[in-house]
Structures are given as structure tokens and as C-alpha cells.
């Protein structure tokens, strides 16, 4: 079994510098409501540069439109910036 690398081991051998940070993903908390009893859907819309959009629904309950193409993209565009409340 190989021993874990240590901070001291790396610093004794290398000069370590960060050359920048890349933001490769984000998560938005989403709430959809029809106004009817049991008309609420909540979850998290996730995007990352490798896999694109993924929607994670609370309680495994999603609206029927969630299974159609471009649904996640439309949610993202609706909730973008100052238009999030419109």
C-alpha cells in the first residue's frame, strides 16, 4: 500500500502556485407553482461544462413538461438575472 502524500512532501519538492480558477458549474434552486393545491414543484437546476443541464426534483415529483426537450434551458433563461421575478 502506498502512503498518502503530505503537504510538506509537496512543498519541499515544488513551488506551488495557482494560475487561476475556472468556474465550471452552478446550481439554481427552482420553484414552480400552478396556484392549485398540490401544484408546487421544487428542485435544483444544475449546469456544468461537462454534462450540461440536469434537474433534480424534490420528492421525485416533476411537472410533465420536464420530460420535453429544452425544458432546463428555458428554466435557466427565465430565472436569469433581473428577469427572475418576471
Q: In 3D, which of 64, 42, 39, 37 has the Cα closest to residue 55?
A: 42
pLDDT at 86 over 60: no
Res. 84 pLDDT band, cuts 50 70 90: very low
Residue 43's CB: how many other CB atoms inside 10 A?
Answer: 20
What is the predicted pLDDT for the residue at 10? 96
The four Cα atoms 31, 46, 66, 69 give a dihedral, to 10 degrees, of 140
Contact, 62 vs 41, CB < 8 A? yes
pLDDT at 56 over 50: yes
* Backbone phi and psi for residue 26, each to the nearest 5 degrees, phi listed first: -155, 165
Give me the mean pLDDT over the 9-13 stretch: 96
pLDDT at 55 over 90: yes
Q: Enter the pTM of the model.
A: 0.71
SS3 67: helix
Amino acid at each position: 500500500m502506498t502512503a498518502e502524500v503530505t503537504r510538506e512532501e509537496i512543498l519541499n519538492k515544488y513551488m506551488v502556485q495557482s494560475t487561476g480558477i475556472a468556474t465550471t458549474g452552478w446550481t439554481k434552486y427552482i420553484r414552480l407553482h400552478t396556484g392549485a393545491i398540490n401544484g408546487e414543484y421544487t428542485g435544483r437546476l444544475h449546469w456544468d461544462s461537462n454534462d450540461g443541464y440536469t434537474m433534480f426534483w424534490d420528492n421525485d415529483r416533476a411537472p410533465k413538461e420536464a420530460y420535453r426537450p429544452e425544458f432546463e434551458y428555458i428554466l435557466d433563461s427565465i430565472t436569469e438575472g433581473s428577469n427572475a421575478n418576471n
